[in-house]
Amino acid sequence: MRRVLQLLIGLFITMQNVPAQNPDSSDPSYANVYDELRSEMFTRRDADWRNGALVYQVIVDRFAPAADLDAKRELYPAPKRLREWDEVPKGGTYNEEAEVWSHEIDFWGGDLDSLRSKLSYVQDLGVDVLYLNPIHLAYTNHKYDAQDYFKVSPEYGTREDVIELANDVHDRGMKLVLDGVFNHMGRTSPWFKDALANPESEWRDWYLISDEYEIGYRAWVNVPNLPELNLENEKVRARLWGDPDSVILGYLRDGVDGWRLDVAFDIGFNYLQELTESAHRWDPESLIIGEIWNYPEEWFPSIDGIMNMTARTILLEMIKGNVNPSLAAIHFDRMYEDIDYESLLKSWIILDNHDTPRLNHSLPEQWQQRMAQVLQFTLPGSPCIYYGVELGMTGGEDPEQRGPMRWDLVTDDNEQLEWTKKLIAMRNECRSLRIGEFLHLNSEHLMAFMRTTDYVEDLAIVVANPSDEEATDLLMIRDSKIMSYTRFVDQLSGDAFDCMAGTLTIKVPARTVYVLRPSISKGSEYTPYKRVQ
C-alpha cells in the first residue's frame, strides 16, 4: 500500500507541477505533500467505527447470573441441567435421550436482562463493540444448532429484549454484534424435522436430504445434530439475508449493528458477498465479520473483515519459540501487502475464544500472555477480548474455556485486570494503533514494526523479543519527520532510547516487548518539530 501511495503522490505532484503544502504557512501544524494526501484517508478511517474497534465477546448463558434463577428453572427441562454459578464446565458423555453430548445441555442461567445489568462493567473497560455468541432459539447451550432464527431462546429473553439491549449499548457509546449461524441449523428444528419426515414438505429443499449421505442428509463435519442448509436454494438465502424481513435485516432493524458469521469459509465467497451487500443496502456502516481459518487474501470484499486466525497462529508460535521473531514480522508484512488494508483494520485479532483454550492455557507463562496481548493491541485490526481474559480466567479445551464469568475476581488488586486496562488506555491514547499504517522494520533478532498516521506524534514502534537472551539491534525508523535526538519512551516500562539520523539502536531484554512513542515538544524555545505536523 505504501508503494502504491508513493506512486499516487508522485503522480499528483507531477500533475500540479509544484510541491503542495499547507497554504497557511503560519500554522504550526505544517504538513508536507505526503501527509496532505493521506489526511483524507485517516479522517475517513477515524469516522468509521468498524476500524480498530475494541471488541468484547460474551456467551450470554455464562456472563451474568439471572436475578431470579428459580423462576427460570422450567426453561431447562430434563435432560438439560441448570448448574450453580461456581461450577466449572466439564466434558461429559453422550446423552442418548438428547442425542448430544451432556456438556452441551448444561446451563448456567444467564440472559439478556442480566447482561444489561453488567453493561457498566463492559463500558468502563473501554469496549467499543459487544459481540454475543448465538442468541436465537436453539436446543443446546452453545446455540449453534438453530431451531428458529427469528426467535430468541426463551432462556435468554425475547426480540424485545434484543431491542432494549441494543438501545442500552448505544446509549453507552458502544455497538452490538450478533453471531449468525447460516451454514447449518439444528436437528431439532421443526423445519428440518418436517423436511426429514415428509418428502412433500415445504422445507424439503432447504436441506440436502438423500440416501447418498451416510446419515441420510448432509451435516456440518458429519455431526448429526447440525444438518447443513441448502444455500444453493434461492429461497433459503432470501429468508436468511435477502428479504426485507429476513434474519439479517430484521435484527439490523432491531438495532443490531453487525454480524459475526460462523464457519464463513463454508458459506463461500459468492454467498458471503451477497449477504454483505444486502446488509450494507440496509445500513452501509453495518459490520460483517467472517470466521475464516484460511489465509485471508481473497475474502474481501465478500465480507468487511475476518477473525484473523492466521495472525493468532503466527503470534502464538512465535511466543512459544517455534517461529523466529524476525520471520514472524516478515509474515505479517507479507499479509498486509497481500490483503486489503482497510478490511484488515476491521478484522478481529483473536488470541482465544469459545472454540480455543483460554490464553493462559495456550501460553502458561505470564510474560508470554502479556507479550501476546501487547501485540494483539498494536497490530492492525480490532482486538477481540474473550470475556474473563481480563480477569485471568482459566480454561482448556471445550467445554472448559466456556466457564461462567468470575465476578469474584473483579477486585481493585487484580493485576490482570489493571494490566488489561493499561493496554486499553495505551491504545486509546495512540491514534496510529487504531487506524495507522503498518511498516515492517528489518531486524535480525526482533519482531519489529511501526504504526504511523499523518501526524508524527502518533508514531509507535513495537519491538518484541520472545527469546531467553537480551537482543540488540539497529532499527531504521521509516518516518522522515522523526528528528535526530528524539527520545522514544516505552509506554509499558518507561525505558527510553534516543534516535540518531533515522535509526534507533535498541537493547531489548529477554522475554520483553516495547511500545515506543516519541517525546516531541513543539512549545519550547527551540524545537526542530516547529514545522512538522
User: Is 477 part of a structural domain of the chain?
Assistant: no
- Shared domain for 271 and 319, answered yes or no, is yes
- Shared domain for 175 and 205, answered yes or no, is no
- Length of the chain equals 533
User: Is 495 part of a structural domain of the chain?
Assistant: no
User: Considering 433, 462, 485, which residue would you say is the last residue of a domain?
Assistant: 433
The per-residue pLDDT for 24 is 41
Residue 522 has pLDDT above 80, yes or no: no
- Shared domain for 151 and 194, answered yes or no, is no
Instruction: Quick: pLDDT tens for 229-238.
Output: 999 999 999 9
- Shared domain for 292 and 222, answered yes or no, is no
- Shared domain for 268 and 399, answered yes or no, is yes
Helix, strand and coil percent figures for the chain, each rounded to 5: 35, 20, 45
Instruction: Quick: pLDDT tens for 360-372.
Output: 999 999 999 999 9
User: Is 463 part of a structural domain of the chain?
Assistant: no
Task: Tell me the C-alpha distance between 40 and 152, whole Å.
Answer: 42
Neighbours of 72 (CB within 10 A): 16
- Give every strand in the sheet of 258-261, ordered side by side: 305-306, 287-290, 258-261, 175-180, 129-132, 55-58, 382-386, 348-350
Residues spanned by the domain of 155: 55-80+109-184+227-433
Measured in whole angstroms, how far is the alpha carbon of residue 514 from the centre of its chain? 23
**Across the chain, what does the average pLDDT equal?**
94
348: burial class by Cβ within 10 Å (0-12, 13-18, 19+)?
buried
User: Is 442 part of a structural domain of the chain?
Assistant: no
User: Is 476 part of a structural domain of the chain?
Assistant: no
User: How many domains, the chain?
Assistant: 2
- Shared domain for 372 and 326, answered yes or no, is yes
User: Is 213 part of a structural domain of the chain?
Assistant: yes
Instruction: Quick: pLDDT tens for 321-348.
Output: 999 999 999 999 999 999 999 999 999 9
Nearest to 257 by CA among 283, 237, 276, 275: 283
Mean pLDDT on 485-500: 97
pTM score, two decimals? Answer: 0.94
The per-residue pLDDT for 511 is 98
- Shared domain for 195 and 341, answered yes or no, is no
User: Considering 403, 433, 463, which residue would you say is the last residue of a domain?
Assistant: 433
Q: Give the residue numbers annotated as catalytic, written as ranges.
A: 262, 291
User: Considering 378, 405, 433, which residue would you say is the last residue of a domain?
Assistant: 433
Nearest to 129 by CA among 6, 10, 227, 259: 259
- Shared domain for 168 and 218, answered yes or no, is no
Domain CATH code at residue 332: 3.20.20.80
- Shared domain for 160 and 209, answered yes or no, is no
- Shared domain for 200 and 72, answered yes or no, is no
User: Is 370 part of a structural domain of the chain?
Assistant: yes
Nearest to 114 by CA among 67, 157, 175, 77: 67
User: Is 501 part of a structural domain of the chain?
Assistant: no
Cell of 348: 478481529
For 378-493, strand residue ranges (E) read: 382-386, 437-440, 447-452, 460-465, 471-476, 487-490
- Shared domain for 279 and 159, answered yes or no, is yes
SS3 labels along 279-320 = HHHHCCCCEEEECCCCCCCCCCCCCCEEECHHHHHHHHHHHC
| Residue 474: strand pairing partners | 505
Mean pLDDT on 30-47: 88
Contact in structure between 259 and 273 (CB atoms under 8 Å): no
Residue 15 has pLDDT above 80, yes or no: no
- Shared domain for 236 and 361, answered yes or no, is yes
